[in-house]
């Protein structure tokens, strides 16, 4: 085959793949199956490997990312990125529209769109090919984040024509994806914006490519393409397959009453939008009037940001304190000048980790916006004025025991099990969860420092003689503490389990284990000794990392010894609740996965409960151990996987028949469930 023919085929594949990426990631209207898409993609990969000298920089195969550590050099913006002036109510917005109209003395039009609460970037194209992607930075220069951000599949790598173009946009993560991925990472980010900002600054682009980041663009600038208005530029961007905000509205000044309607509609829609917004952006549509209105030193006069009210205030970072948690996680805490937020005085704010600090480019001495956003501990949202300090860097050694810190994901950890800070925090967490009356964190700290309590069992061996002669501990306080400790022995197994503070094993996981027969520490230890994650993965609601955590924690000899000590003390080590009522054993030795929606099972959890109450087991995903897939309306990938694995797919009607003792539909494995143990 001639090279020109190969090149033509490669270009054709690139166009087709880009087209289908746009339909899938932007329009959410795929025209082909995943298998058909994979064939196109695999064919392009094959040709590029065989004819590597013909591979194009703008090929979609280049989005996968690299394991090479990234450096983020500074790059100057071709057009300075200015901030917008802000208004906070409809009355001020109406005045701004009138003032802007009067300044031009012309019939002008405007655009209004939600302001994505994301990470601002500029995309630069040279001769129609993506050249580099730069963070907003200080408005004049930003960091080169090209390799990381081009992993976002909705970003066009090549334009339809060979022009130079600068495009502005916001990188973000959808609310549902934020909750899912942030939980996996230990809830390290306060909000989706900080998650997106931290993600794009990861060291390896291959890691960024695994995160479902998205982008919406809102403006473009080009000397090669003559657009007369924002609306014309939007049409051009759409033609070149850029994802734009679907909620944008264009309106004439005469119809400015539409804006007031739009404001109320967006406020109503806000909670249902897939992305977080922190306000609206209103801009003059026509470019000639933008030029006429001009700029101040800080913002354009032709645009304004309408900000939603939020509980926040401005403060100054006076210092950064490093805390060590019970798991060894290192958490930086900003010490700020006290300010009032939401009716209370705030003097500190969480900084989560180094990625979070880097995303803010935060230094001691910076003036910042602090927001509660429903958080117990407020978070720093953004830097509004830089001080003279350098971006803060976390230490490489534990501030308590000076052990070398280990990096795990986005966090640093002290892995020394005898670190005093970790031991102290474990004790404090246990006392808090067990709700031991009159035994606060300061009491834990004092008794730990005096070596009266050094581990959890020591709490239950405390005597009056240990406390009575200590400063601040009179007869009454001592008796109240001892009574609180004795009372805590009545706490249920679930509470005792939770108080251990095992990584990724929350109350819901404990309930799942108990409902599936693992209702005591002894049973969990026995199951964990098998070192088989599939034992736990078959339970609906338990994922891979949680299964691995269960195996790790319950194979740790220190934890096994601690649980044995609990039995001696009298703490509950098994679930004393009545077992789930079993209506039948019709589903014995079966493992079910459930997908779709049902007429009789609303919510869907009712179907899961029925499976369990008839002797079956449930799994969150389809695996080789799944025996049945209960399929309702809809579904998706689970159907395909079940069919591929030869798993029986059962309708709602068939399922109800099975519950009424039609056992011919059941597998004949005598000891299937038992074999898992």
3-state helix, strand, coil in the chain (%, to 5): 40, 20, 40
Predicted pLDDT at 673: 31
Partner residues linked to 217 by β-bridges = 169, 244
Instruction: Give the pLDDT band (50/70/90) at residue 634.
Output: low
Instruction: Give the pLDDT band (50/70/90) at residue 674.
Output: very low
| 96-105 pLDDT tens trace | 999 898 887 7
CA–CA–CA angle 232, 236, 242 (5° rounding): 125
Predicted pLDDT at 69: 44
Of 321 and 266, which is predicted with more confidence?
Answer: 321
Element housing 667 (H / E): none
Rounded to a whole number of angstroms, the distance between the first and last alpha carbons of the chain is 58
Of 387 and 59, which is predicted with more confidence?
Answer: 387
Instruction: Give the pLDDT band (50/70/90) at residue 184.
Output: confident
Residue reference for tokens 């031009």: 104
Coil vs helix vs strand at 25: helix
d(CA 307, CA 596): 39
Structural tokens at position 344? 């209370």
H runs (alpha helix) in 51-140:
90-104
Residue 271 known to be catalytic: no
CA–CA–CA angle 197, 198, 203 (5° rounding): 120
Predicted pLDDT at 1: 54
Of 624 and 353, which is predicted with more confidence?
Answer: 353
Predicted pLDDT at 68: 46
Predicted pLDDT at 671: 35
Of 78 and 663, which is predicted with more confidence?
Answer: 78
Instruction: Determine whether 400 is exposed, middle or buried from the number of CB atoms within 10 Å of its CB (0-12, 13-18, 19+).
Output: middle
Tell whether the model's pLDDT for residue 297 goes beyond 90: no
464 Cα distance to chain centroid: 48
Taking residues 527-537, report their average pLDDT: 91
Count CB-CB contacts under 10 A for residue 278.
Answer: 18
Of 618 and 667, which is predicted with more confidence?
Answer: 618
| 439-482 pLDDT tens trace | 988 999 999 999 999 999 999 999 998 988 888 888 888 999 99
Closest C-alpha to 178, from 118, 113, 266: 118
Please say whether the beta carbons of 574 and 520 come within 8 A. yes
| 491-506 pLDDT tens trace | 999 899 999 988 878 7
Predicted pLDDT at 429: 92
d(CA 27, CA 274): 14
In the chain, pLDDT over 70 holds for what percent of residues?
88
Residue reference for tokens 């070398």: 404
- Tell me which of 50, 115, 175, 641 is the catalytic residue: 115
Own/partner long-range contacts of 598-605 (Cβ < 8 Å, ≥24 apart): 598/632, 598/633, 598/652, 599/652, 600/652, 600/656, 601/632, 601/652, 604/632
Of 438 and 635, which is predicted with more confidence?
Answer: 438
Coil vs helix vs strand at 233: helix
Instruction: Give the pLDDT band (50/70/90) at residue 423.
Output: very high
The angle, 0 to 180 degrees and rounded to 10, between the axes of the packed helices 257-269 and 90-104 is 140
Please say whether the beta carbons of 221 and 165 come within 8 A. yes
d(CA 176, CA 274): 8
Predicted pLDDT at 66: 45
Predicted pLDDT at 484: 93
Predicted pLDDT at 670: 35
Predicted pLDDT at 296: 63
Of the ranges 72-86, 228-242, 306-320, 565-579, which one carries the lowest mean pLDDT score?
72-86
Query: Pairing state of beta strands 74-76 and 214-221?
Result: unpaired
Predicted pLDDT at 84: 83
Predicted pLDDT at 490: 92
298 Cα distance to chain centroid: 33
Element housing 631 (H / E): strand 628-631
Of 189 and 236, which is predicted with more confidence?
Answer: 236
Coil vs helix vs strand at 215: strand
| 148-168 pLDDT tens trace | 999 998 999 999 889 999 999
| 573-621 pLDDT tens trace | 998 765 445 566 778 788 888 887 787 776 666 787 788 778 788 776 7
Partner residues linked to 633 by β-bridges = 597
Predicted pLDDT at 26: 57
In the predicted model, what is the mean pLDDT of the chain? 84
Taking residues 229-241, report their average pLDDT: 92
Please say whether the beta carbons of 651 and 642 come within 8 A. no
Taking residues 81-103, report their average pLDDT: 84
Please say whether the beta carbons of 599 and 656 come within 8 A. no
Residue reference for tokens 């655009």: 111
Instruction: Determine whether 418 is exposed, middle or buried from the number of CB atoms within 10 Å of its CB (0-12, 13-18, 19+).
Output: exposed
Taking residues 191-216, report their average pLDDT: 86
Partner residues linked to 87 by β-bridges = 306
Give the torsion through C-alpha atoms of 17, 20, 25, 27, to 10 deg.
Answer: 150
d(CA 227, CA 286): 9
Q: Domains in the chain, please, with CATH?
A: 3-63 (1.10.287.610), 85-307 (3.30.470.30), 312-413 (2.40.50.140), 420-488 (1.10.150.20), 493-569 (1.10.150), 591-675 (3.40.50.10190)
Q: What number of residues does the chain have? A: 677
Tell whether the model's pLDDT for residue 664 goes beyond 60: no
Predicted pLDDT at 345: 86
Please say whether the beta carbons of 499 and 433 come within 8 A. yes
Radius of gyration of the chain from its Cα atoms, rounded to whole angstroms = 30
Own/partner long-range contacts of 78-83 (Cβ < 8 Å, ≥24 apart): 78/124, 78/166, 79/166, 79/221, 80/139, 80/140, 81/120, 81/122, 81/136, 81/137, 81/139, 81/140, 81/142, 81/168, 82/139, 82/295, 82/298, 82/299, 82/300, 83/139, 83/298, 83/299
Predicted pLDDT at 168: 93
Taking residues 631-656, report their average pLDDT: 83
Of the ranges 123-137, 270-284, 630-644, which one carries the lowest mean pLDDT score?
630-644
Instruction: Give the pLDDT band (50/70/90) at residue 281.
Output: very high
């Amino acid at each position: 085959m001639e090279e020109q023919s190969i090149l033509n085929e490669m270009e054709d594949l690139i166009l087709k793949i880009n087209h289908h990426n746009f339909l899938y990631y932007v329009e959410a209207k795929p025209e082909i199956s995943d298998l058909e898409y994979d064939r196109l993609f695999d064919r392009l990969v094959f040709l590029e490997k065989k004819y590597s000298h013909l591979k194009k920089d703008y090929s979609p195969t280049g989005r996968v990312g690299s394991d090479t550590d990234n450096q983020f050099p500074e790059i100057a913006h071709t057009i300075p990125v200015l901030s917008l002036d802000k208004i906070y109510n409809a009355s001020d917005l109406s005045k701004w529209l009138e003032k802007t109209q009067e300044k031009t003395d012309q019939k002008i039009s405007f655009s209004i769109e939600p302001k994505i609460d994301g990470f601002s970037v500029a995309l630069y194209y040279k001769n129609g090919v993506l050249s580099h992607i730069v963070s907003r930075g200080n408005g004049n220069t930003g960091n080169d984040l090209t390799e990381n951000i081009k992993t976002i599949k909705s970003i066009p790598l090549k334009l339809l024509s060979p022009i130079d173009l600068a495009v502005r946009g916001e990188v973000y993560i959808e609310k549902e994806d934020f909750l899912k991925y942030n939980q996996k990472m230990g809830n390290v980010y306060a909000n989706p914006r900080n998650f997106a900002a931290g993600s794009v600054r990861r060291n390896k682009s291959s890691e960024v490519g695994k995160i479902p980041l998205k982008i919406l663009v809102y403006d473009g600038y080009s000397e090669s393409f003559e657009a007369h208005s924002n609306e014309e530029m939007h049409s051009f961007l759409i033609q070149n397959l850029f994802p734009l905000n679907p909620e944008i509205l264009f309106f004439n000044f005469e119809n400015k009453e539409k804006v007031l309607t739009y404001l109320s509609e967006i406020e109503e829609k806000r909670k249902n939008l897939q992305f977080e917004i922190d306000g609206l952006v209103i801009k003059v549509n026509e470019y000639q009037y933008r030029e006429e209105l001009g700029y101040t030193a800080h913002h354009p006069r032709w645009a304004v940001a309408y900000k939603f009210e939020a509980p926040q205030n401005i403060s100054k970072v006076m210092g950064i304190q490093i805390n060590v948690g019970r798991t060894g996680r290192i958490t930086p805490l900003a010490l700020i000048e006290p300010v009032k937020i939401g009716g209370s005085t705030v003097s500190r704010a969480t900084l989560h980790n180094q990625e979070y600090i880097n995303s803010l480019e935060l230094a001691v001495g910076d003036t910042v916006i602090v927001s509660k956003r429903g958080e117990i501990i407020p978070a720093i949202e953004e830097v509004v004025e830089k001080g003279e300090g350098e971006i803060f860097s976390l230490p490489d050694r534990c501030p308590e025991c000076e052990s070398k810190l280990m990096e795990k994901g986005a966090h640093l950890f002290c892995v020394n099990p005898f670190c005093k800070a970790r031991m102290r925090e474990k004790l404090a967490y246990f006392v808090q969860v067990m709700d031991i009356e009159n035994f606060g964190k300061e009491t834990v700290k004092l008794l730990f420092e005096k070596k009266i309590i050094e581990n959890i069992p020591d709490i239950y061996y405390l005597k009056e003689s240990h406390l009575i002669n200590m400063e601040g501990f009179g007869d009454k306080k001592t008796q109240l503490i001892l009574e609180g400790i004795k009372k805590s022995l009545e706490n249920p197994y679930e509470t005792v389990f939770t108080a251990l503070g095992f990584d990724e094993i929350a109350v819901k996981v404990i309930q799942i284990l108990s409902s599936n027969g693992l209702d005591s520490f002894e049973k969990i230890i026995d199951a964990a000794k098998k070192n088989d994650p599939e034992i736990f993965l078959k339970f609906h609601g338990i994922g891979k990392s949680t299964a691995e955590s269960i195996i790790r924690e319950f194979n740790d000899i220190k934890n096994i010894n601690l649980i044995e000590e609990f039995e001696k003390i009298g703490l509950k080590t098994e679930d004393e609740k009545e077992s789930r009522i079993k209506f039948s054993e019709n589903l014995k030795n079966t493992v079910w996965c459930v997908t779709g929606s049902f007429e009789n099972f609303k919510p869907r959890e009712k179907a899961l409960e029925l499976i369990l109450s008839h002797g079956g087991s449930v799994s969150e995903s389809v695996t080789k151990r799944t025996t049945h897939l209960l399929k309702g309306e809809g579904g998706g990938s689970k159907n395909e996987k079940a069919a591929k694995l030869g798993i029986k797919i059962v309708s709602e009607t068939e399922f109800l028949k099975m519950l009424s003792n039609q056992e011919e539909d059941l597998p004949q494995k005598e000891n299937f469930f038992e074999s898992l143990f």
